[in-house]
Structure 1
Amino acid sequence: MDWLTRANRRIHRTLHARPANGWKPDRFRKMALPPIAPPGWWKALLRLPRDHYVRLFTRHSSVHPPAVGRCIEVAAAMGQVLVTCDGVGVARHARSWASHQTITDPEHTAAAAAARKASAATKPASVEVTELEERSLETNDRIFDVIDDGLSTGEGLA
């Protein structure tokens, strides 16, 4: 603790004052806390992408696949992440504070695999091919009365 006494005696280069003398004026300039607590949830509305994962800062959390393409609400508190779609919970995970993590619920993985299998089993509907008429460029010339390099009267531009 001897270093603290020495550090507080010296004049700080950027503050141009002693650090021990700066805390009292700073304390009086601070505002009081508001009478109500700030909200504990971070919320966002977004559309769930095809990979059925929602990104929360640098972490990815899985969501139940039937919500893909629909508008969802992501709410993150200190300890959990809750995802709802039309008021129904489609994901609940313990919040991870480690960066660049992927949190996957095995139930969501199984539902995504079943949906992929069902999609592969169905045959695409047959598409009816319609033949289109091909016109020669002369037809367009006749329709728009284009003669002599784009000039219909031969007089040039007016």
Structure 2
Amino acid sequence: MITLEDWALIRRLAGEGVPKAHIAERLGISRTTVIKAVNSESPPHYERTAAPTSFTPFESRVRALLLETPTMPATVLAERVG
């Protein structure tokens, strides 16, 4: 996945007539990625679906403890939550 800045640079360089192979070599990406960036109308975006983590079961209790005592150290939080 390229960054927004890389996408903009690729499109600018391609617009100036720089060969796609040179752009790919300069940025350390594949020529195919350069071609896709040049042909795309919008910058790349990455969306990740939310998934439960190992912290999820403890989150509500940790938030409650932090509301009571915002400066509570992480070690004490861990002891109290289990």
TM-score by length of 2: 0.30
**Structure with more strand by fraction:** 1
Which structure's relative contact order is higher, taking Cα pairs within 8 Å and 6+ residues apart? 2
TM-score by length of 1: 0.20
